Structure formats: C-alpha cells, structure tokens
Amino acid sequence: MCTVSVNSMKIWNFFLILLLSQLCRETAGSLKLVQVLFRHGDRTPTETYPNDPHQSWKGGWGILTNKGKSQMYYLGKLLRERYRTFLPEHYIAENVYVRSSYADRCIMSAQTFLAGLFPPKDDQIWNPNLLWQPIPVKSVPRHLDNVIAMKKQCLVYDDALKNAYQSPKIKQINEANADLYEYLTLATGNPVKDINAVEYLYNTLEIELQNNLTLPQWTKNISLNHLRKIAEMNFAIFSDTTLMKRLTGGSFLTEVITQMKTKIDRTSALNIALFSGHDVTLITVLRTLGFEKLFKPDYGAYLVFELHEANGDYEIKIFFGENYETVPQQMELEFCKSPCIFNNFVKGLHAVLPDDWEAECSRY
C-alpha cells in the first residue's frame, strides 16, 4: 500500500481533475433549457364566510399583496443567481417564454418575477429613472386554459371529479368529520359539507393568521392542523386517478415536453420557459410525476425542469423549491432514476400524457 508511486498519484490527480471539470461542465455547460412552474406570491383571501370578522381587505379579494410582489421579485433574483452562467443578462425575446394563468395575481407574479430575473442592462435601459423593462406575459382566458388553470371544459374530467368526491375514501372522511362539518357550518354561517368547503375555509383562516388578525373564538375549539390535513386531501383530489392526471397534469407536462423537443431538435432558441400558476397546479403536476405526498404549497413554491445534454443524450433533472426563498432540491423520479434520459422520461409518463385532450374529454 505504501508503495504507491508518485507516478500513480499523479495519474490519480489527473483523473480527479478530469472528473471535477466534467462535473463542473455538467452543471453549467450542459444545461440547455430551464422550465419553471411557480405558485404566485402572498395574496389576500379569495373567499370569506358570513360570520367572518375580517371582511375588508385592502385592494380586494384574491389579489397579490406588496409582500407577494417582493417574494416573487426575490424568487426572480434567486433564479438569476442560480442560472447566472446559463441565462444571458440581456432579455432577448426568442430566449424567453412566459405563460400565466388568467388570474390577476398570477400575471402580476410573473411580471414581478421577471423584474427580478431581467433587470435592464446597459443598452437595454430605456428609462434611467426606472430600472425595469417590460417582458411579455402570455395567458389564455380561464375557460380556454387546459394547461395551467385547467378550467377548460372537459366532461370526462368533470364526471371523474364528481366520482372522486363520492369515493368510499372521501365518504369515510366526510363521515368521520360529520360533527366537525356541522360545527363549522354553524360557526361560519356557510354550509360546510365536503372537503372542498373545508379547504376554502382553511385557506381564509390561514391567510388571516399570517396577517396577524385575531381569529374568532370558535376556532379555539378546533384543530387548524386537522383542517389543513383535510385541505391537503382536497388539493390532491383534482388528480385522484390516472385518468384525471392525464387530463390535467398530463396536459401541462405535454407542454413542457414539447418545449424540450424543440430544443433537442434545435428548432428553438428558448433558454427559459416560465409558468405562473396556483397551488393546485403545482400539486397536480407533482402528482402526475408520481410525487403523491400530501401538502399545501407555499407562496412562490416552484418546480424546475432542467434539460441537459450529456454524452450525446439528453437528461432531465427535476428540482423543487418549497417557497420563494429556498434553494431547489433535486427530486428522484420513481419511474426514471437518475440519470433520467429524456426518452425514458417521456416513456415513463406514457400513461399520463393525453394523446388528444379534446377527444379524450368528450369520450364516453
């Protein structure tokens, strides 16, 4: 053992350096395309209930707050830092694609995120007193959107969702919580009959708490954590079955894969695609990818799809950031272990990618 020659040491060092440089190249040079789906920033409640003592929100219901704007700006800066060597500092139209849900808070979140990601540089400064530049944010009206808001009419899906709410699993939860529902109905003045109503109520209470508002006395008798657990189940119910995943998250993933394909075909100059959505969008997409853990996504939570070129092949890396200020953590796909090659990624998702969304929505 002690007889290891100087020469072989040198060889080892050489390999080590080679390995390191290879690793570095992979993290910077091999990256081809980044796609990010994020939840909007801090908002006011979208709902209230008749007995809610906190019914006046500055700016209105469901709007992005100043805090929310700062969060999204921060996230934009965080990703600028992460992709400093990959993403040109200058905004160039053909390198960037931004699509938002129809909702004001999502469009505004995308705009503020972009203000952080692409502050104008040098010759792009058009107003020396305003270090901001416009970047187009595309969106589709709610009733036409089957990618982010996922509200485009789909009869097959509507039936599946109805069935999911009637499933033995959910019925059992409703039965177990019958007393709670009755209590909440009485206390709020709103009929609370299912997990959906509990989720809406929980969201409102949570936001009120986050804003240091005092919750009414009746909330002392219940466990908010228990309400949260029910709310988390409701987030998951929108992608309960493979069919439901196919018609929601699958539609989104088709968009992501299409962008990757044009990059692989070298027919696109795209560097980054951004999708501005909701908590349900994130849960649905995560579940469609096989991450079925129940949770409630925080403001600015985000999912990253990276496309890398490696050894003549293309590799997918997926990361998740828990909120606007956390560094994203890599996630291991169950059906496509690392290194996850593009073709295997698409193959693995076969069951949840719709072939023809419109046709599958009206098929009986």
Partner 1 sequence: MFVVPRSVILLLLVSEGLINHSSCEVEDTLLSVIVIYRHGDRAPIRPYQTDPYKDPSNWPMGWGQLTKIGKRQQYDLGRWLRERYKNFLPEEFSPRDIYVRSTDVDRTLMSAQCNLAGLFPPDANQTWNSNLAWQPVPVHTVPEQLDPVLSMKKPCERYRQLYQALFTTREFVDIQRENRELYEYLTQNTGNEIYNLETLEQLYNTLFIEELHNHTLPEWTKSVYPHKMARWADMSFALYTYNPKLALLRTGPLMDVIYKAFDNASLPKMHMFSAHDTTIADILNTLGIFDRHSPPYASTILFELRARGVNRLVNILYKNSTTPQRMILKDCQFDCPLDTFNEILDRIRLSDGEWESACEARFLGMVQFGTLQTGVFLGCMGLLFVLLCSFIISIVWSRRRRETVNYLRIPNQEE
Q: Which residues in 180-199 contact partner 1 (CB under 8 A)?
A: none
Sign (positive or negative) of CA dihedral 192, 197, 199, 200: negative
Q: How far apart are CB 158 and partner 1 at their closest, in Å? A: 22
Options 31-39, 129-137, 183-191, 216-224: segment touching partner 1 (CB under 8 A): 129-137
What distance in Å separates the CA atoms of residue 102 and residue 99, rounded to the nearest whole number? 9
Total number of residues binding partner 1 (CB under 8 A)? Answer: 39
Residue 139 CB, shortest distance to partner 1, in Å, is 6
- Of residues 139 and 203, the one with the C-beta less far from partner 1: 139
Distance CA 364, CA 246 (A): 15
Give whichever of 87 and 243 is closer to partner 1, judged by the CB atom: 87
Residue number with CB closer to partner 1 (152 or 287): 152
Among 75, 78, 108, 256, contact with partner 1 (rule: CB under 8 A): 108
Q: 146 vs 190, which CB is nearer to partner 1?
A: 146
Asked whether the beta carbons of 146 and 251 are under 8 A apart, the reply is yes
| 224 lines the binding site for partner 1 (CB under 8 A) | no
Binding segment toward partner 1, per CB under 8 A, in 44-52, 57-65, 156-164, 291-299:
57-65
Q: Does 239 bind partner 1 (CB under 8 A)?
A: no
- The answer to whether 128 contacts partner 1 (rule: CB under 8 A) is no
**Which CB contacts under 8 angstroms, 24+ apart, belong to 328-331?**
328/82, 328/302, 328/304, 331/291
> Is the Cα dihedral 30, 343, 302, 121 positive or negative?
positive
- Minimum gap (Å) between residue 134 Cβ and partner 1: 4
**Inter-residue long-range contacts of 168-174, CB under 8 Å, 24+ positions, other chains counted:** 170/194, 170/195, 170/233, 170/237, 173/230, 173/233
Q: Which is nearer to partner 1, 39 or 69 (CB)?
A: 69
Could you give the CA distance from residue 70 to residue 296 in angstroms, rounded to a whole number?
Answer: 21
Give, as ranges, the residues between 161 and 180 that touch partner 1 (CB under 8 A): none
- Rounded CA-CA distance 203/200 in Å is 5
Rounded CA separation 118/116 (Å): 6
Neighbours of 46 (CB within 10 A): 14
Q: Does 60 bind partner 1 (CB under 8 A)?
A: yes
If binding is defined by CB under 8 A, does position 46 make contact with partner 1? Answer: no
- CA–CA gap between residue 221 and residue 148 (Å, rounded): 37
3, 94, 162, 225: residue in contact with partner 1 (rule CB under 8 A): 94
- Note whether 97 binds partner 1 by CB under 8 A: no
- Of the residues 46, 47, 140, 360, which one makes contact with partner 1 according to CB under 8 A: 140
CB of 273 to partner 1, least distance (A): 15
Contact 205, 226 (CB under 8 A): no
Q: Which of 29, 134, 189, 191 binds partner 1 (CB under 8 A)?
A: 134
Q: What distance lies between CA 118 and its chain's CA centroid?
A: 21
Q: Which residues contribute to the site for partner 1 (CB under 8 A)?
A: 58-60, 63-64, 66-67, 69-70, 73, 92-94, 102, 104, 107-109, 111-112, 115, 123-124, 126-127, 129-141, 144
